[in-house]
């Protein structure tokens, strides 16, 4: 199915948010997900289905340095670290 992840169209076979995080190789404790403009809590990911055309924003938290201006290699978006 086609999903829009961080503004980019991606073809994905995952049927749930939990499966998507696993498929992307991300550590669940370092990820926040917004599905169609609604934040989904981590404990809901395994039972949250994905549908054709869903729009997701995925933030993957990475430790080290200030993080300002660094890019997320998987999606190419910039996630400034606003906590420093």
Whether the per-residue pLDDT at 82 is higher than 50: the answer is: no
Region 14-35: what's the mean pLDDT? Answer: 94
66 pLDDT tier (thresholds 50, 70, 90): low
State the pLDDT at residue 65: 60
Task: Evaluate whether 7 touches 58 at the Cβ level (below 8 Å).
Answer: no
Question: How many Cα neighbours within 13 Å face the side chain of 69?
Answer: 0
Q: Which CATH class is domain 2-60?
A: alpha beta
**Across all residues in the chain, what is the average pLDDT?**
83
Cβ–Cβ contacts within 10 Å for residue 3, how many?
19
Whether the per-residue pLDDT at 78 is higher than 60: the answer is: no
Regarding beta strands 31-35 and 38-40, do their DSSP bridges make them parallel or antiparallel, or are they unpaired? antiparallel
Residue-range domain boundaries for the chain: 2-60
């Amino acid at each position: 199915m086609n999903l829009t992840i961080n503004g980019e169209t991606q073809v994905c076979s995952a049927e749930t948010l939990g499966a998507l995080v696993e498929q992307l190789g991300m550590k669940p404790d370092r990820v926040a997900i917004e599905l169609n403009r609604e934040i989904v809590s981590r404990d809901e990911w395994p039972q949250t289905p994905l549908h054709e055309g869903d729009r997701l924003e995925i933030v993957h938290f990475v430790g080290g340095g200030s993080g300002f201006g660094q890019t997320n290699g998987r999606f190419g978006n910039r996630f400034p670290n606003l906590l420093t």
